Amino acid sequence: MDLKNKNAFTLIEMLMVIVILAITSLMVIPQMSAASSAQLDAAASIIASDLEYAKSLSISTQQWHSVVFDKSSESYQIQDSDGNVVPYKMNPSGYYVVDFTKDSRLSRVDLYEAKFDDSPTITFDYLGSPYSGSGISNPMASGDVTLKAQGVESHITIEPVTGYIRIN
């Protein structure tokens, strides 16, 4: 029996392939979770700054503005007092709509919950005070946006009365 012409892998070759795959996976997995963590931090910062922007619009125009979250479509938008989406030149659509599923910077992040008392909408009055819902008849008692990425959570909290926004 001639063993030199046999087409097969030796045990040593198989072990070498397994070792190389193990080392590669040990290097790739932390990078994937680091990317998710970076996207989570970025998403929290984007939402916090957009909430600040809506509050600033309300103060500067002396009209209330709302941020309407839709967790089923992983998106939110800023609306004026008439319920129209605010124009925004930086978005290809021309309107202030942020869609997590279409933004590659946010693709690993889930908009888990946006709750302002019992509403997914927060409204700021001309002083920057937050209200729950799309009108200024219900002063907000508590407001929180929860984001998740690979088992890690981030919270954006809006304080009642002052509208102070912080990332936890």
**Secondary structure (DSSP) of 67-102:** EEEETTTTEEEEE-TTSPBPB-TTSTTSB-EEETTT
35-63, pLDDT tens digit by residue? 778 889 999 999 999 999 999 999 999 99
Quick one: pLDDT at residue 2?
56
Q: What tokens does 148 get? A: 């998740």
10-21 pLDDT tens trace: 888 888 888 888
Residues in the chain where the model's pLDDT stays below 50: none
DSSP three-state, residue 62: coil
pLDDT at residue 130, rounded to an integer? 96
Contact 111, 144 (CB under 8 A): no
- At 160, the amino acid letter reads P
Alpha-carbon distance 66 to 135, whole Å? Answer: 8
**Residue-level pLDDT at 132:** 94
CATH superfamily of 11-167: minor pseudopilin epsh domain (3.55.40.10)
Decide if 137 contacts 149 (C-beta within 8 A).
Answer: no
Domain segments of the chain as ranges: 11-167
Task: Identify the CA nearest to 57 among candidates 36, 26, 29, 88.
Answer: 88
Residue pair 138/132 in contact (Cβ under 8 Å)? The answer is yes
pLDDT of residue 31: 54
**Minimal CA–CA distance to 103: which of 79, 77, 74?**
74
For residue 29, the model assigns a pLDDT of 59
CA distance 35 to 117: 32
